[in-house]
């Protein structure tokens, strides 16, 4: 199936051609036709499956130029609002629609003048309410109300804001709700915003067809050595190593450098300038390995990342999804490998309980134990050797080679 077979208006098709979108993803194939028919839709699919275009394409089709604000898209964070707006602008290029982003932390002025001219508004709930209270947003013509990343918006406590916004827009609009995860609670809540909604759930993401997920059990003290071993064995074209704190990022990247692996740190403690230089060098493939925190990696859009290493397991399931969404983009194949120490199991189990991922266990095999210097750079004390493993020791992983399929194995069995 191509976009051309989906009865999409010419100007929108032209825009899609212009950005190289030819084949719709699963969620797009399933939702676009019923959205075009006018149904409310609750769409669930994983990160990286193309949800933005699933609602963005029919939205741009439905909206007419100079018809006032007809589309209202809510997103949990300003970064997401920006990303969505950029993507929708691309779809509407030939049609010449104006898309206004609206979020807090910046002055109201430019947003207010943009709101007078635009046809589509993408924003965070709080700032949209501010504009509603000031009467700087005219929502009388809204035909489509879209909640993106609904799960995150609920988790972040936006439910009352969303309800307030909903009271201020026409009742006879179409409502679309998209989310990577869907709980019964969320469905219950969203029933209030939707009417006879069709629920669509697609399993495979673009990336999942080619992205393989693995985990490896390892003692915390041997994690770094295993990481070096895996990097040498896997030889990533481009890889990202995720850590849970800035301090861990600094320590891991410094130790990698000590072991001859060219890795650069990326976290929020670096100056904007430094961060941009690091990202640039990664985009260009000069830096092959990036050691990053979740927050810092959020803005990255790198097509050729082949490997994700979870040096620490994120506390939130969304962060895990976002991490693995960084690889296997645009048809490349990729691997995500989580290094699990005893402390990581609880977090990992929670993530696996929430998603239907297939994750296989891999064996650590034999590898050399390397010293790991803990960083105390924030106190200006440089590094010291924190472990007393002697060089040259090798360690044998345990020998259970069974692969874990989170769907088929009893969930409670995760340690
Ligand atoms: P999600 O919201 O489900 O996480 P996105 O909408 O952010 O996914 O899409 C993920 C990536 O895939 C983006 O870079 C997007 O431009 C790209 N993409 C989406 N749909 C298509 C398509 N049909 N063809 C090519 N690339 C696509
Ligand atoms: Mg999205």
For ligand 1, pick from 52, 90, 176 the residue to mutate: most ligand atoms within 8 Å of CB.
52
Domain boundaries along the sequence of the chain: 3-201, 211-414
Q: How confident is the model at residue 403 (pLDDT cuts 50, 70, 90)?
A: very low
**Token pair of 337 as six digits:** 């490998």
Report the b/e string of 90-102 with b at 16+ CB within 10 A: bbbbbbebbbbbb
Q: Which CATH architecture has domain 3-201?
A: 3-Layer(aba) Sandwich (3.40)
What are 42's strand-pairing partners? 177, 199
Handedness of CA 303, 152, 177, 114 (dihedral sign): negative
What are 211's strand-pairing partners? 334
* Nearest-atom index, ligand 1, CA of 325: 4
Cα gap 175→172, rounded to integer Å: 9
Q: Determine the pLDDT at residue 375.
A: 58
Q: What is the mean pLDDT of the chain?
A: 85
Share above pLDDT 70 across residues of the chain, in percent, rounded to a whole number: 85
Section 109-117 average pLDDT = 96
CA of 51 to the centre of ligand 1 (A): 7
Predicted structure pTM score: 0.60
Q: How confident is the model at residue 400 (pLDDT cuts 50, 70, 90)?
A: very low
Section 35-46 average pLDDT = 94
Please report, for the chain, how many H helices and E strands are present, in that order. 15, 19
Q: How confident is the model at residue 298 (pLDDT cuts 50, 70, 90)?
A: confident
CA of 319 to the centre of ligand 2 (A): 13
Cα gap 83→413, rounded to integer Å: 39
Please list the alpha-helical segments (H only) found in 265-393.
Answer: 272-283, 294-297, 317-324, 345-354
Cα gap 177→200, rounded to integer Å: 10
Residue nearest to atom 2 of ligand 1 (CA): 51
* Nearest-atom index, ligand 1, CA of 46: 3
Give the number of the ligand closest to the Cα of residue 50. Answer: 1
**Token pair of 180 as six digits:** 């990577």
CA of 61 to the centre of ligand 2 (A): 19
* Nearest-atom index, ligand 1, CA of 47: 4
pLDDT in tens, 186-216: 888 888 899 999 999 886 554 455 678 899 9
- Taking residue 79's Cβ as centre, other Cβ atoms within 10 Å add up to 14
Q: Determine the pLDDT at residue 300.
A: 73
Section 345-360 average pLDDT = 80
285 class by beta-carbon count within 10 Å (0-12 exposed, 13-18 middle, 19+ buried) = exposed
Flag whether pLDDT at 409 surpasses 70: no
Element (H, E) at 219: none
Share above pLDDT 90 across residues of the chain, in percent, rounded to a whole number: 61
CA of 148 to the centre of ligand 2 (A): 7
Section 183-187 average pLDDT = 80
Q: Which of 46, 403, 325 is nearest to 205 (CA)?
A: 46
Residue nearest to atom 26 of ligand 1 (CA): 21
**DSSP string spanning 146-196?**
EESSHHHHHHTT-HHHHHHHHHTS-TTSEEEEEES---HHHHHHHHTT-SS
Q: Determine the pLDDT at residue 188.
A: 84
User: Which has more confidence, 137 or 358?
Assistant: 137
Q: Determine the pLDDT at residue 411.
A: 32
Domain at 211-414: CATH code: 3.40.50.300
Flag whether pLDDT at 22 surpasses 70: yes
The HSE-up count of residue 95 (CA atoms within 13 Å, CB side) is: 30
CA of 128 to the centre of ligand 1 (A): 26
Section 342-348 average pLDDT = 89
Lowest mean pLDDT among 41-50, 160-169, 205-214, 389-398: 389-398
Residue nearest to atom 20 of ligand 1 (CA): 50
- Taking residue 149's Cβ as centre, other Cβ atoms within 10 Å add up to 23
């Amino acid at each position: 199936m191509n976009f051309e077979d989906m009865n999409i208006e010419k100007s929108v098709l032209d825009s899609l051609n212009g950005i190289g979108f030819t084949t719709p993803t699963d969620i797009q194939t399933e939702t676009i036709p019923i959205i075009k028919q006018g149904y409310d839709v609750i769409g669930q699919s994983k990160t990286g499956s193309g949800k933005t275009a699933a609602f963005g394409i029919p939205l741009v089709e439905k909206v007419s130029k100079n018809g006032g604000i007809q589309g209202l898209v809510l997103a949990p964070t300003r970064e997401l609002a920006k990303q969505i707006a950029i993507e929708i602008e691309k779809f509407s290029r030939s049609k010449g629609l104006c898309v206004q982003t609206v979020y807090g932390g910046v002055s109201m002025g430019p947003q207010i003048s943009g709101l007078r001219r635009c046809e589509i508004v993408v924003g965070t709930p709080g700032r949209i309410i501010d504009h509603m209270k000031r009467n700087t947003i005219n929502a009388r013509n809204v035909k489509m109300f879209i909640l993106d990343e609904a799960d995150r918006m609920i988790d972040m406590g936006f439910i009352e804001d969303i309800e307030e916004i909903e009271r201020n827009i026409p009742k006879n609009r179409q409502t679309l709700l998209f989310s990577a995860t869907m709980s019964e609670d969320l469905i219950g809540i969203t029933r209030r915003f939707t009417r006879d909604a069709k629920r669509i759930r697609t399993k495979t993401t673009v990336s999942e067809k080619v992205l393989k997920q693995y985990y490896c059990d390892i003692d915390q003290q041997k994690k770094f050595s295993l990481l070096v071993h895996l990097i040498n064995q896997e030889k990533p074209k481009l890889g990202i190593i995720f850590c849970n704190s800035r301090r861990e990022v600094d320590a891991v990247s410094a130790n990698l450098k000590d072991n001859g692996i060219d890795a650069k740190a990326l976290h929020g403690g670096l100056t904007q300038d430094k961060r941009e230089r690091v990202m640039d060098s990664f985009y260009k493939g000069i830096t092959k390995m990036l050691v990053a925190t979740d927050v810092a990696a959020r803005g990255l859009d790198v097509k050729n990342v082949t490997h994700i290493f979870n040096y620490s397991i994120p506390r939130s399931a969304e962060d895990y999804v976002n991490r693995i969404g960084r690889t296997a983009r645009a048809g490349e194949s990729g691997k995500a490998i989580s290094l699990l120490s005893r402390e990581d199991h609880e977090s990992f189990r929670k993530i696996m309980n929430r998603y239907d991922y297939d994750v296989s266990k891999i064996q650590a095999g034999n590898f050399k134990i390397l010293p790991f210097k803990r960083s105390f750079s924030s106190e200006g004390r440089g590094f010291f050797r924190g472990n007393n493993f002697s060089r040259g020791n090798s360690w044998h992983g345990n020998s259970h080679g069974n692969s874990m399929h989170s769907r088929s194995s009893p969930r409670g069995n995760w340690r």
